[in-house]
Structure 1
Amino acid sequence: MAIPEFPAYALMLADGFAEEADYGVMRTEMDSGVPKQARRFSVPIIARTINIRVQSDADRLRFDAWVRDDLAGSVGWFNWLDPIGGQRKRARLVGKPACRWQRDGPQRWQTPLQVETVG
């Protein structure tokens, strides 16, 4: 089965964008001296907070159907264009619920999303 694409009609907003890399650093306290640190992952897990906007009630319903059907209720992976590096990456939604829609003008909706990629 093909990996779904992030919908083109869901516009990513610069406002509220945040990014955090997790290398899985393990820290061990020593009896004396400097604590030891080691990283568990060679490639970080990147967590991003993004806000998306859709331009109509119909697009909101389409996005909800995409999450429900194509992503199996937000557990599936999808292809996503990284807004910082411009590279296509596999991503998934994290957090519950996936969408917290708020009206953003007539027929417009906005929701924050938590997106996770490897690398």
Structure 2
Amino acid sequence: MEIFPAVARVTFDGQVRSFDPSVERTEMERGLPKQRLLNSQVLVKQSMTLYFASIGDATTFESWYFDVIKRIGWFEMVHPYSGQTIKARFENGALGDLVPDEKLTGDFKMDTVVEYMR
């Protein structure tokens, strides 16, 4: 299994976690709606901002993305909230825009979303 590159650091800013609860809800003529679980696991989406200290680090990350995981592959990374190792992939195989960061000259950031099963 491929490992998320150390040149891309996940920042605390920009993190949002969401998931589809995978529940089927049936409205009834009277009384409360019935609910049942559709799946034992749910797909979690974790939005995050990646920080690169230089354009070289961003280029290294893009090479890993295109050449190693080939945009859609699974990889292991440390979850930014729990610190546990998860098996994840990029949602729709997509990365966000690479933009200069305002903190230091020459550093960059990129917003992206990874998804994993919980």
Superposed displacement of residue 96, structure 1:
6.3
Query: Aligned to 1:43, what secondary structure does the other structure show?
Result: coil
| Cα distance in 1 for residues equivalent to 2:94 and 2:23 | 28
Q: Select 1:81's aligned residue among 68, 78, 100.
A: 78
Give the CA deviation at 1:63. Answer: 0.9
Q: CA deviation at 1:90?
A: 0.4
Q: Does 1:92 align with 2:66?
A: no
| Corresponding residue pairs, total | 116
Task: Give per-residue Cα distances to partners, 1:68-113, cap 9 Å, x unaligned.
Answer: 111212x110001112221111000014641311111422110111
Change (3 A) 1:29 1:39: same
Over the aligned positions, Cα root-mean-square deviation in angstroms equals 1.5
> Match for residue 24 of structure 2?
26
1:8-64, Cα deviation, whole Å (9 max, x unpaired): 121111111111132311111222221111122222221110101001111111111
Q: Is the 8 A contact 1:10 1:53 kept in 2?
A: yes
Q: Gaps spanning 5+ residues in structure 2: where?
A: none
Matches within 5 A, 1:93-108: 93-95=90-92, 97-104=94-101, 105-108=104-107
Find out whether 1:66 has 2:64 as its counterpart. yes
The equivalent of 2:46 in structure 1 is: 48
TM-score using structure 1 length: 0.88
Q: With structure 2 as the length reference, what TM-score do the two structures score? A: 0.89
Moved more, 83-92 or 26-35: 26-35
